[in-house]
Amino acid sequence: MAAGTHGATQETAVRTNIFVRALIYAVLIVFAVYYLMPLYVMLVNSVKPLEEIRQGNMMSLPTIFTLEPWRSAWSTAQIGVQPTGLKPYFINSVLMVVPAVAISTLLGALNGYVLTKWKFRGDGIVFGLLLFACFIPFQIVLIPMARLLGLIGLAGSTPGLVLVHVVYGLGFTTLFFRNYYDAFPTELIKAAQIDGAGFFRIFWRILLPSSGPIIVVTVIWQFTNIWNDFLFGASFADFDSQPMTIALNNLVSSSTGVKEYNVHFAGAILAALPTLIVYIVSGRYFVRGLMAGAVKG
C-alpha cells in the first residue's frame, strides 16, 4: 500500500515536470524565433536580386540565389560621393578598434593593479573619479573634446578617435580590473617582491598571465562599444578616417537613386559581423567573467 501511494505521488510529480518543461521550452522557442526574425529577414534578402524584394514578400526564401549584393556592399556601392563600397571604412574601423581596445585594456589593467596592490593615500577618490567616466553621457563632452583634439593636432584622424575611445573606455576597464585584482591574493605580490621582481615585472609576469577571464570580458566590452560607436565617429572623423558605422549610415540613407535593399542588408550584416564573431568565440568567458566580477567585487 505504502509503496503504491509513493509510486503514484512520484508519477504525478514527473507528469507536472514534463508539463512545466514543455511550457518553458515553448516560451523559449517563441522568444528565440522572435529575436532571430530580423536576422532571418536580413540574411534572406541579402542574397536576393532587387526585383524579388520589390515583388513584396520579405519573408520568402530567394528563388534566384545571388552574392552580388554582398560584393557590391563590400567594394562598389556608392558611399557618400565615392563608389568604394564599405571596404575602406571597414579597414578604418579595424585601425581604430584594435589599438583603442588594446590600449584601454592594458591601461585598465595597470590602473586596477595600482588601485588594489599599491594603495596610496586617496586611492578611493581616484577610483571614484575614474568611475564617473562610466556615467557621463557622451554628448556632454563632444564640444570640449573637439576643442582638445584640435589643440593637440589629432582632429579628424584615426589616432584622434583612438584617443577618444581610450579615454572613455578607461572608466569601465579600470572598474573591471580593479574588482578582479581585488580578489587576487596580495601575498603573491609580496612573494614576488621578496623574489626581487619590480613593479612592472610583477604586473607582466604574475598578474597579467592570471587575468585571462577578465581580459576577455574587457576586450569584448570595449570591442563592441568602440566598433558600434556612431557618435564619436560622426563627430570627430574625417572622410578618410570614418569608421564602418558612419559609412553604413551613408550607404543606407543616401537620398539619390534606387534604394538597393539587398545591398543595405548585406552591408548591415558586414558591419555587425566582427562583434558577432567576437561574441560567439568568447561569449562563454564573457558571462563567466561578468559573474566572477559581480560576486567578488
What residues line the site for other proteins (CB under 8 A)?
185, 187-188, 190-197, 201, 205-206, 209-210
Query: Is 155 or 192 the residue whose CB approaches other proteins more closely?
Result: 192
| Residue 125 CB, nearest approach to other proteins (Å) | 17
Query: Is 35 or 121 the residue whose CB approaches other proteins more closely?
Result: 121
Residue 46 CA, chain-centre distance (Å), reads 24
C-alpha cell at 233: 565617429
| Residue 193 CB, nearest approach to other proteins (Å) | 5
Contact criterion met (CB below 8 Å) for 286 and 220: yes
Q: Please, what sign has the CA dihedral across residues 136, 105, 111, 210?
A: positive
Query: Is 148 or 208 the residue whose CB approaches other proteins more closely?
Result: 208
Crossing angle between the packed helical segments 123-132 and 158-182, to the nearest 10 degrees:
130
Count other Cβ atoms within 10 Å, centred on residue 167.
Answer: 16
Query: Is 205 or 288 the residue whose CB approaches other proteins more closely?
Result: 205
| Residue 220 CB, nearest approach to other proteins (Å) | 22
Residue 134's closest CA among 38, 50, 221, 212? 221
CA 283 to CA 175: how far, in whole Å?
Answer: 20
Contact criterion met (CB below 8 Å) for 183 and 153: no
| Residue 205 CB, nearest approach to other proteins (Å) | 8
Query: Is 56 or 185 the residue whose CB approaches other proteins more closely?
Result: 185
| Residue 212 CB, nearest approach to other proteins (Å) | 9
CA 220 to CA 3: how far, in whole Å?
Answer: 56
Residue 266 CA, chain-centre distance (Å), reads 20
| Residue 223 CB, nearest approach to other proteins (Å) | 24
Give whole-number Cα distances, 143 to 136, 146, 248, in Å: 14, 5, 24
Query: Is 31 or 200 the residue whose CB approaches other proteins more closely?
Result: 200
